[in-house]
């Protein structure tokens, strides 16, 4: 699929972004492990989330879409999932594979997790190692890649120091710890997304945290309840950058999740000089839940360069491709370091950003663990490729909004992974997209 983007029109109006898929995965899983029924509101049928949903159904969980955006899930209890009849297909979703690996490690049966070739290339050894230490038998392909064959049950708690900050690995260990004997302690080298801990506490599961250590004692059960998903801030980031660099714009993005471990993109944009205002959300009770939410109002501003690295990067990893676009319009040299994780996402995002923005005239240099962007640059329209990566497709569309001439994005269908209505949203705000 090709999408054509032309510059010249301001972006104005209100927009909604999909329900946060990181939180949706966790809501589906914890509702499935609850006692009794739960409802998940604000659910968007994104590819990754559907992989988790179908895997849970394959383990005996009844999940029904009762109306658009609302699921009813009949929980089976923390130890009530059934052995699946076949392989659990994770598609391209690393979150599905890693989180379900933790769930399945605590259950007394054998299950196989597999996915598409790009997922098979993503490293799974960081989750396999701690699950093995907890007592699960996990077989993996060479170098710790999928498919993963998990023979679970009989787990014991461990005290484990994560080699790198990873919310997915942390969450997998916590989910395994639910059915483990004794206390599980996870020590983080830097803060990572805390959606799992936050949601477990909201459900009544005692999870303690201090000085970079998260503690959970296995054996707790919880009742089902209604989950409300906030808007995905990683999806909102593309609209925030677009409205920041397209002159004459004013965009309000509604009910966005502002979890402190996810919202660094707002502070980075503000640090670059962006005009982003946080406002009370206009949506009512449907935003109640364990996550803070707000509306975001953004207008154009003169941007300047920043240097990003260290403990900030795990909080910002998914937003770096579109921040690279912002950097092409910022005064000075923007430097991103300590982001080697970008190399093993849906694409090698460091190489892809450098190649495609370079083709549009951006002055960008790839580093082993990041990139350097010199700005401001007058971009030019070009034919570019999404590299099979949803965030690359959206970042290139944002770049096309300020490029001279037409930008053609090949592989634009990949946006369905996280923001199926992205191009429609740009059109509704006034962009020329076809």
307-324 confidence digits (pLDDT tens): 999 989 988 999 999 999
The pLDDT value recorded for residue 267 is 96
The arithmetic mean of pLDDT across residues 38-64, rounded, is: 95
Q: What is the mean pLDDT of the chain?
A: 95
Considering the entire predicted model, what is its pTM?
A: 0.86
The pLDDT value recorded for residue 283 is 59
Beta strands in 220-368 (DSSP E): 226-228, 250-257, 275-279, 293-299, 307-308, 332-336, 363-367
CB 363 within 8 A of CB 373: yes
Neighbours of 121 (CB within 10 A): 12
Report d(CA 412, CA 415) in Å as an integer: 6
Instruction: Name the active-site residue from 194, 318, 385, 389.
Output: 318
Report d(CA 141, CA 233) in Å as an integer: 34
| pLDDT 10s digits, 258-276 | 999 889 999 999 999 999 9
| β-bridge partners, 294 | 256
The SS3 call for residue 216 is strand
CB 306 within 8 A of CB 334: yes
The pLDDT value recorded for residue 422 is 97
The pLDDT value recorded for residue 118 is 87
The pLDDT value recorded for residue 284 is 53
Q: Which two tokens stand for residue 407?
A: 């930008």
Question: Which of 112, 91, 85, 89 is closest to 101 using CA atoms?
Answer: 112
| pLDDT 10s digits, 78-112 | 999 999 999 999 998 999 999 999 999 999 999 99
Write down all domains in the chain, each with its CATH number in brackets. 2-18+230-433 (3.65.10.10), 21-214 (3.65.10.10)
Q: What percent of the chain has pLDDT over 70?
A: 99
CB 387 within 8 A of CB 357: no
Q: Which two tokens stand for residue 2?
A: 């090709």
| DSSP conformation class of 68 | T
pLDDT band at 200 (very low <50, low <70, confident <90, very high): very high
257: CB partners within 8 A, 6+ apart = 20, 23, 230, 231, 232, 233, 263, 291, 292, 293
389 is a catalytic site residue: no
Report d(CA 326, CA 337) in Å as an integer: 16
Report d(CA 230, CA 179) in Å as an integer: 28
The pLDDT of residue 282 is above 90? no
pLDDT band at 286 (very low <50, low <70, confident <90, very high): very low
Helix residue spans in 8-106 (DSSP H): 21-32, 47-58, 94-105
The arithmetic mean of pLDDT across residues 35-53, rounded, is: 94
Q: Edge-to-edge, what's the strand order for the sheet holding 250-257?
A: 12-15, 250-257, 293-299, 275-279
The pLDDT of residue 303 is above 70? yes
């Amino acid at each position: 699929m090709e999408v054509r983007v032309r510059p010249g029109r301001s972006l104005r109006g209100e927009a909604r972004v999909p329900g946060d898929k990181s939180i949706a995965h966790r809501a589906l899983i914890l509702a499935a492990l609850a006692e009794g029924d739960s409802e998940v509101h604000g659910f968007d049928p994104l590819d990754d989330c559907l992989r988790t949903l179908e895997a849970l159904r394959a383990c005996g969980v009844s999940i029904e879409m009762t109306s658009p955006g609302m699921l009813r899930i009949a929980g089976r209890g923390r130890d009530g999932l059934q052995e699946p009849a076949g392989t659990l297909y994770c598609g391209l979703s690393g979150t599905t594979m890693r989180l379900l690996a933790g769930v399945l490690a605590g259950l007394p049966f054998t299950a196989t997790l597999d996915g598409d070739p790009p997922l098979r290339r993503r490293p799974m050894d960081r989750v396999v190692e701690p699950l093995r230490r907890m007592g699960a038998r996990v077989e993996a392909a060479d170098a710790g890649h999928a498919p993963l064959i998990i023979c679970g049950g009989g787990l014991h708690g461990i005290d484990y120091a994560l080699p790198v900050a990873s919310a997915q690995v942390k969450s997998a260990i916590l989910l395994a710890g639910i059915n483990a004997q004794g206390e599980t302690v996870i020590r983080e080298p830097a803060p990572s997304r805390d959606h799992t801990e936050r949601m477990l506490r909201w459900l009544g599961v005692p999870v303690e945290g201090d000085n970079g250590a998260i503690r959970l004692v296995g054996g707790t059960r919880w009742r089902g309840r209604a989950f409300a998903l906030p808007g995905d801030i990683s999806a909102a980031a593309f609209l925030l950058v677009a409205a920041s660099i397209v002159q004459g714009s004013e965009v309000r993005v509604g009910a966005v999740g502002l979890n402190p471990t996810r919202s660094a993109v707002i502070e980075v944009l503000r640090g670059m000089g962006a005009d982003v205002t946080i406002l009370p959300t206009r949506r009512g009770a449907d935003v109640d839940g364990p996550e803070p939410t707000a509306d975001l109002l953004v207008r154009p501003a003169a941007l300047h360069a920043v240097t990003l690295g260290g403990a900030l990067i795990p909080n910002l990893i998914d937003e770096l491709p579109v921040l690279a676009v912002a950097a092409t319009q910022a005064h000075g040299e923007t430097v991103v370091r300590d982001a080697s994780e970008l190399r093993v996402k849906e694409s090698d995002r460091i190489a892809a950003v450098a190649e495609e923005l370079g083709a549009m005239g951006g002055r960008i240099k790839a580093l082993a663990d990041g990139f350097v962007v010199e700005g401001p640059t007058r971009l030019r329209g070009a034919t570019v490729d999404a590299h099979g990566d949803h965030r690359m497709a959206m970042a290139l569309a944002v770049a096309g909004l300020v490029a001279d001439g037409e930008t053609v994005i090949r592989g634009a269908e990949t946006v369905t992974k996280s923001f199926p209505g992205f191009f429609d949203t740009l059109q509704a705000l006034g962009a020329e997209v076809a």
